[in-house]
Chain A
Amino acid sequence: MSEGAHLRQPEAGQPDASHKAILYLEGLNVSFDGFKAINDLTLYIDSGELRCIIGPNGAGKTTMMDIITGKTRPNSGQAWFGQTVDLLKLSEPEIANAGIGRKFQKPTVFESHSVAENLELAMHGNKSVWYSLRARLSGEQQALIDATLHTIGLTDHYHQQAGALSHGQKQWLEIGMLLVQKPHLLLVDEPVAGMTHQEMERTAELLTSLAGKHSVVVVEHDMDFVRSIANKVTVLHQGSVLAEGTMDDVQNDQRVIEVYLGE
């Protein structure tokens, strides 16, 4: 057992990661009309880890995220969050409230709401209907919104309508929405698509700073970006794991070169 393991004893609202891993995917299979999008996929994510997942188009990256967040149900296999939470039995909101947050490939923010309201809506807490009718922002929540806006560099856009933000700013806002959700596991799909080099660097910084407190899974196409943040990379190909290791290991793997990097 690693030294910190005893500190992560399971508590209320916390996934039980006492066996090091926070996410278990075992023997998953998904097919759409005969096409096998996920093929006997087995993958473990450790608690506090920052993992990058790469792979050519159609390798099953987004489908994998869909399974974890409850959008798609596999034909067979297992998906566990910690030791106790069976993801295949929960709906999307239940999974979100269990502590898995997701950023989509195409930035999706609530366009007709202000930037601050987007964070208010995404914030962790009671999400029931009757409670929402009477809910007011507490000082603590307001402080969290302010702090998050500072982190994602949108403090000056507090009242701005989210639909009017630039593409990069929307990406950042969506990351901010993930943060206020206070998830234990973040799934981040193509966070730097359409970003300038500068924005990319800040995103890399942010994601690296999140690891440790949170477990982060990043799906990304941009190899420079992956190299700058990842210590462990998983390569998906045709719905299953082709290789796993450091960026250098993976880049020197003959099979990976064939299917992906060599192209």
Chain B
Amino acid sequence: MFITRILQNDRGGQIMLAVLALVLVLVPVLNLLVPEGNFLHMPTYLVTLLGKYLTYALLAVAVDLVWGYLGILSLGHGAFFALGGYAMGMYLMRQIGDRGVYGNANLPDFMVFLNWKELPWFWQGFDMFWFAMLMVLLVPGLLAFVFGWLAFRSRVTGVYLSIITQALTYALLLAFFRNEMGFGGNNGLTDFKDILGFSLQSDNTRMTLFVLSGLALAGGYLLCRYIINSKLGRIVVAIRDAESRTRFVGYRVEHYKVWVFTVSAMLAGVAGALYVPQVGIINPGEFSPLNSIEIVIWVAIGGRATLYGAVLGAILVNYAKTVFTGLMPESWIFMLGALFVLVTLYLPQGLAGLVQQFQAKGWLQRRAAA
């Protein structure tokens, strides 16, 4: 079958997707079928939390594709995530209709508040679900395409490119903070009511979003693995390892970079679009440069250039974040920094590399035999 062929030599991916499939079956059972009060019952807030982790995992896979395989350290992928989120948020805002505080059927609350008389042109069409979903892909994709085309054609590489991607997301942060931009300014978009007619507060809708996040992660993973396995994937790794050599062999390196960068940005956009209805808000804070750096840390901790390592890293680090920001809110950022330094020094291949090391030494087999 197609999927088994993609995963042929990818033990980590097989295990990861098997666990994911199990979770996607188990969580609905524990949440919807096991009655409340039973100690096995899983509360809905936990389902939504897991759903959020899954969208982060998809985002991390997108970053691993460009960083691990293409060698481009993007410190601005949060921007593509946020843009996908805003596209979804705009649809959800339009869905509120006349149920807003001001009861205006055409204008979202913040526009009424700003005394706007009509809907700006770029809000047109977002009342249609299919249009919004198209924008979830197209807006991040187009930005990545234009940005990548300019940067890669001028042969901006290495740390300079990383700095420009930081500048990109910071510029968007400042722009989206402005009320005149028309995206709700500081407060962003929130107070969502329903999606495609289903209430966002209901358990069933939340479960559906959770399952969709899991399926999107699986789909994004398989897509990236398919790309990596193809000849295109081998060319991409060749560019990472010896860029000018690849050029002299006859490949237009900038075309490959733009293509992969754009695909990755679109995946990040999808992750953002699934994230927003589950957390119920999107605001300019998502464009913060720190967010983008955090994503890179997830991937580094999980293990670069493995894809499944990115999934592992994103989920573990965010779980730790949830736990520790609850216990000691101020200390988290220091712990994250320390974790990053320790992983870079002692686990350059991340957690995935650790597993591979154990396997190489045969420790796992020996332990299994004992």
Contacts and interface: CB of A to CB of B under 8 A. Distances in A.
B242 A110 contact: yes
Given A110-B245, A132-B230, A133-B227, A127 B238 contact: no
Interface of A: 69, 71, 91-93, 96-97, 101-102, 104, 108-113, 117, 120-122, 124, 127-129, 132-136, 177, 181
A109 B245 CA distance: 8
9 contacts: A93-B252, A108-B245, A111-B241, A112-B237, A121-B238, A121-B249, A127-B252, A134-B230, A177-B249
B250 interface: yes
Nearest to A99: B250
B232 interface: yes
Given A97-B250, A109-B242, A109-B245, 12 more contacts: A71-B244, A91-B247, A101-B248, A104-B245, A110-B246, A121-B231, A127-B252, A132-B232, A133-B227, A134-B230, A181-B249, A181-B250
A93 B251 contact: yes
A101 B247 CA distance: 11
Contacts, number: 75
A133 B250 contact: no
Interface residues on B, range: 20 to 34
Contacts of B99: none
A62 to B, nearest CB: 13
A92 B245 contact: no
A112 B235 CA distance: 11
B123 interface: no
A34 to B, nearest CB: 24
A112 B248 contact: no
Interface in B247-306: 247-253, 255-256, 259
B234 interface: yes
B248 A92 contact: yes
Given A110-B241, A112-B241, A127 B250 contact: yes
B247 A92 contact: yes
**Would you list the 7 A-B pairs with minimal beta carbon distance, nearest first?**
A96-B250, A132-B232, A92-B247, A135-B231, A110-B238, A133-B232, A97-B250
A192 B183 CA distance: 64
